[in-house]
Every structure is written in C-alpha cells, then in structure tokens.
Amino acid sequence: MAKRALITGITGQDGSYLAELLLEKGYEVHGIKRRASLFNTQRIDHVFQDPHEPNPKLKLHYGDLSDTSNLTRILCEVEPDEVYNLGAQSHVAVSFEAPEYTADVDAIGTLRLLEAIRFLGFEKKTRFYQASTSELYGLVQEIPQTETTPFHPRSPYAVAKLYAYWITVNYREAYGMYACNGILFNHESPRRGETFVTRKITRGLANIAQGLEDCLYMGNIDALRDWGHAKDYVRMQWMMLQQDVPEDFVIATGVQYSVREFIVWSAAELGLTLEFSGEGVDEIATVAANEGDKAPSVKVGDVIMRIDPRYFRPAEVETLLGDPSKAKAKLGWTPVITVQEMCAEMVREDLKVAQRHAHLKSHGFDMPIAQSG
Ligand code: NDP
Ligand code: GDR
C-alpha cells in the first residue's frame, strides 16, 4: 500500500516542492487548498492529475486552518500516515498588520490539526511535521543558533509560531505522538512568494532590466540571513518523519549574507555592477557598469534602488545564522545548492518572464505588472 500524506499549504513554495518529492517516492498525496476568487494552484499545476482519471495520486481538498470541522473531516477521510503542516500566514511584515489572523492560523491552526489527529484516534498512526522557523530566535541569544538556543520572537508571526512549536512538543510528550519541528532558516527558490526579499529583488531587477519598472524600493538591506534552497529543505522535512524517534532539527546552511549582498549578486547576474552611496534612508544604488545584453533598458548612472521606510518593521530580526550539525550528524543531510547558485537560478527564471512581458509590450500588448509589496 502506498503511504498517504496530507500537506497543508500545498499551494505554497514548500508545499509544491514537497508534493513533487512525495509523488516521486510513490506516495498518495492529499493537499489542502483555500478557496480563492482566482486560481491559486499555479505552483502545483504541473503535478496536478485529472480527478476523472483512475487512481489519481494527487488529491486536493478545499479547507482552511481556521476551520476545525473542515480539518477534522479531511483528516477522517484521508487517514494520513504523515501530515506536513506547512500552511501559514507566512509573511513577517504582514503579521504586524494582521496579528490576530496570524495567531489564529499559525498557532491555533496547528493545535486544531493535532487535536483532530488525537480526537480521531490517529495519534499512534499519523506522523506530524510542523513548519517551525528561525524567526523563533528573533533577538538572537547565541551565534550560531542550534536546537538548544533560547527563543526570543520579534513579530506576531514568530510568537504564533512559538505556540505552534511548543504545542507540537507538548503533543509528543503528552500523547506519545510522532510529532516534530523542523526549525528552518530562510529558504527560497524561483517559486518564492513575490513579496519576500529575495524574490522581490530578483523579480524587480529583472523587470528593471527589461524596462518594465524603474526602481527597486527596499527596507533594511543590512539584515543578515542564512539562505538555502527550498528543494534541499523539503527533502529534510520528509527525512525527519522517517526516523525511529521524533526529534526537532535546525535546517540551515551555516553561512550568512546580507540583503545588500543578494542585491549585488542579482544585479551581477544581469550584467550590472552597482555602486552604493548615501546613508540610512538616503542610501541608493547606482549602475556603475552594464555588461552583456541582459539589461538593455538600463544605462550607467541610473538609480535602480532606493530605501523606503515603509518596508522597515516595528521590530526587526537583524541577524540569523543556523548550525545544521545535528541534521548532518543524525540524518546525513547537507544542502546541495549554494545561495549564489540559487540567486542565479531565480534571476534567470524572473528574466524569462520579464522578457516575455517586454516582448508583448513592444508588440502593443501592454500588461500591468503586479507591484512588489
Ligand atoms: P508560502 O507563503 O509560500 O505558503 C503558505 C501556504 O499556506 C500557501 O499554500 C497558503 O495558501 C497556505 N495558507 C495560508 N493561510 C492559510 C489558511 N488560513 N489555511 C490554510 N492554508 C493557508 O510559505 P512557504 O512555502 O515559504 O513556507 C511553508 C511553511 O514554512 C510556512 O508555515 C512558513 O511559515 C514556514 N517557514 C518558511 C520558511 C521559508 O523561508 N520559506 C522558513 C521557516 C518556516 P495560498 O496559496 O492560498 O496563499
Ligand atoms: P523573513 O523574510 O522576514 O526573514 O521571513 P523576508 O524575505 O520577508 O525578509 C528578510 C529580511 O529582509 C529585510 N528586507 C525586506 N524584506 C521584505 N520582505 N521586503 C523588503 O523590501 C525588504 N527590505 C529589507 C527584512 O526586514 C528581513 O530582515 C521569512 C518567511 O519565509 C517566514 O515565513 C520564515 O519563517 C522566515 O523567513 C524564516
């Protein structure tokens, strides 16, 4: 019998890579998608299977982490061997705008799932993965951060995820459930949401290169992050549920860079050399050289980045650096894709899209470009 997995957040970045991985491994994959007024399955359309075909291996269910009866019904129908709880209001800045919603979905949503598993009597059968986060460390107490570093969350998102972390530990200790936390540091890909910093940069610069936008407006470009590739990280999510004993793991690369460096690499991938000048909110990035033909709309001297304080956060996480030693030692996991390779891949993919838009525009088919948030 094929194993059955249920993924919340299957339409998101990680959910789409995890669904691919589990399908490759022969799983029957069930995913929860939200009802939306527009199609929201772009990231998984390539693995979608027509439900009219016999025995589709991917099945989608309408649902929401805020809806207890819906989650309980789906769990009851699917009887999963493994649940991956990836669904969340996952944007840190947005959590300051919508703190109560974020708590409901990210914190109580996790409790709803765990309690439904217990209520249905699946606690000895169903393994549970919780998408925990390096944001738990917030105001960091120790460098690098490990599984034992104390937490100090700095946003409503991180506080909600702190509850989710501990309720997962609690259900493991109280009911003997196989439940574990992956404490994942930032991970990105061409499928990353457009308003997270890496994708905002690669997409924004690709659009500027093709004459579709003029300038990238950024927040704190001195923030330091430990960035990996989502493909490497979902592999680890699966590995964590295949052990004899459930444990929590830090997943990171162990290398840290600034947002500013990510801007420089992305620009270089487009043939652009940047010069930064000014200070604080007056800092700008100007084009110092343009080599190659990837950025035909950009001239030397153009200002292509400015700071906009609207992207500053009420409380910032300045620095994150993970120590993945436990994952390496116990699971043999190491990331394969470097952050520079990932950045190049993201720019390439965003450039293809920007070139298509520019081509249509040059033939009179102007399409509005969604603004970066
Ligand atoms: P995304 O934002 O790309 O995906 C989030 C998913 O959750 C989407 O499928 C979204 O649906 C779904 N979702 C949002 N709200 C609800 C809700 N109320 N009910 C059900 N589903 C909902 O996030 P990532 O894929 O990047 O991250 C996956 C998980 O890992 C998240 O929990 C995130 O907090 C966590 N995490 C992410 C890290 C990263 O760097 N990417 C690092 C550490 C943790 P829709 O498509 O309809 O919006
Ligand atoms: P983060 O990711 O908050 O770490 O959460 P994000 O990419 O949003 O920000 C990273 C850093 O970049 C700074 N920054 C900006 N961020 C955004 N979004 N937009 C900007 O214009 C900008 N300018 C500078 C931020 O201030 C921050 O310091 C991500 C999410 O995926 C979470 O769900 C996950 O838990 C953590 O990573 C680990």
Buried-exposed string 292-325: b where 16+ CB fall within 10 A, e elsewhere: eebbebbeeebebbebeeebeeeebbebbbbbbe
**Contacting residues for 291 by C-beta, under 8 A, at least 6 apart:** 271, 272, 273
pLDDT at 1: 87
pLDDT at 50: 85
Q: Over the stretch 321-339, which tens digit does the pLDDT of each residue have?
A: 999 999 999 999 999 999 9
Rounded CA-CA distance 84/41 in Å is 18
Helix axes 230-240, 13-24, angle to 10 degrees: 60
pLDDT at 371 over 80: no
Percent of the chain past pLDDT 70, that is, above it, reads 99
Tokens of 250: 């830090």
Instruction: Name residue 286's beta-bridge partners.
Output: 275, 303
- State whether the beta carbon of 219 lies less than 6 angstroms from ligand 2: yes
Tokens of 349: 């993919």
Q: Over the stretch 231-253, which tens digit does the pLDDT of each residue have?
A: 999 999 999 999 999 999 999 99
Q: Over the stretch 13-51, which tens digit does the pLDDT of each residue have?
A: 999 999 999 999 999 999 999 999 999 999 999 999 888
Rounded CA-CA distance 218/195 in Å is 11
pLDDT at 372: 59
- 223 Cα nearest atom in ligand 2: 28
Q: CA geometry: angle at 337 spanning 318 and 215, to 5°?
A: 55
Instruction: Name residue 363's beta-bridge partners.
Output: none
Identity of the residue numbered 96: F
Tokens of 346: 């993201």
Q: Over the stretch 141-157, which tens digit does the pLDDT of each residue have?
A: 999 999 999 999 999 99
Q: Which ligand is nearest to the CA of 200?
A: 2
* Chain CA centroid to CA 232, Å: 12
Rounded CA-CA distance 130/110 in Å is 8
CA of 212 relative to ligand 2 center, distance in Å: 24
- Beta carbons of 327 and 250 less than 8 angstroms apart: yes
CA of 315 relative to ligand 2 center, distance in Å: 12
Q: CA geometry: angle at 65 spanning 236 and 229, to 5°?
A: 25
Q: Over the stretch 205-227, which tens digit does the pLDDT of each residue have?
A: 999 999 999 999 999 999 999 99
- State whether the beta carbon of 90 lies less than 6 angstroms from ligand 2: yes
The answer to whether residue 157 is catalytic is yes
- Beta carbons of 304 and 205 less than 8 angstroms apart: yes
The answer to whether residue 133 is catalytic is yes
**Contacting residues for 1 by C-beta, under 8 A, at least 6 apart:** none
**Contacting residues for 55 by C-beta, under 8 A, at least 6 apart:** none
> Which residue's C-alpha comes closest to atom 9 of ligand 2?
197
pLDDT at 370 over 90: no
Q: How many CA atoms lie within 13 A of 346 on its CB side?
A: 34
CA of 32 relative to ligand 1 center, distance in Å: 12
Which 8-state DSSP code applies to residue 326?
H
Name all residues whose Cβ lies below 6 A of ligand 1.
8-9, 11-15, 32, 34, 36, 40, 64-66, 86-90, 105, 131, 133, 184, 186-187, 193
pLDDT at 369: 82
Element of type H or E holding 284: strand 284-290
Element of type H or E holding 68: helix 68-78
- 91 Cα nearest atom in ligand 1: 2
What residue has token string 């990510």? 262
Rounded CA-CA distance 141/51 in Å is 50
Q: CA geometry: angle at 200 spanning 189 and 39, to 5°?
A: 70
pLDDT at 175: 98
What residue has token string 């209520």? 119
Where does residue 79 fall: left (phi above 0), alpha (psi -120 to 50 degrees), or beta otherwise?
Answer: left
Identity of the residue numbered 91: H
Tokens of 243: 């052990």
Mean pLDDT (whole number) for 118-138: 98
Mean pLDDT (whole number) for 70-92: 98
**Contacting residues for 368 by C-beta, under 8 A, at least 6 apart:** none
Q: How sure is the predictor about 7, in pLDDT bands with cuts at 50, 70 and 90?
A: very high
Identity of the residue numbered 184: L
The answer to whether residue 135 is catalytic is yes
Rounded CA-CA distance 250/140 in Å is 15
Tokens of 195: 């308003």
Q: CA geometry: angle at 204 spanning 203 and 205, to 5°?
A: 95
CA of 344 relative to ligand 1 center, distance in Å: 24
Q: What is the mean pLDDT of the chain?
A: 97
CA of 86 relative to ligand 1 center, distance in Å: 6
- 13 Cα nearest atom in ligand 1: 25
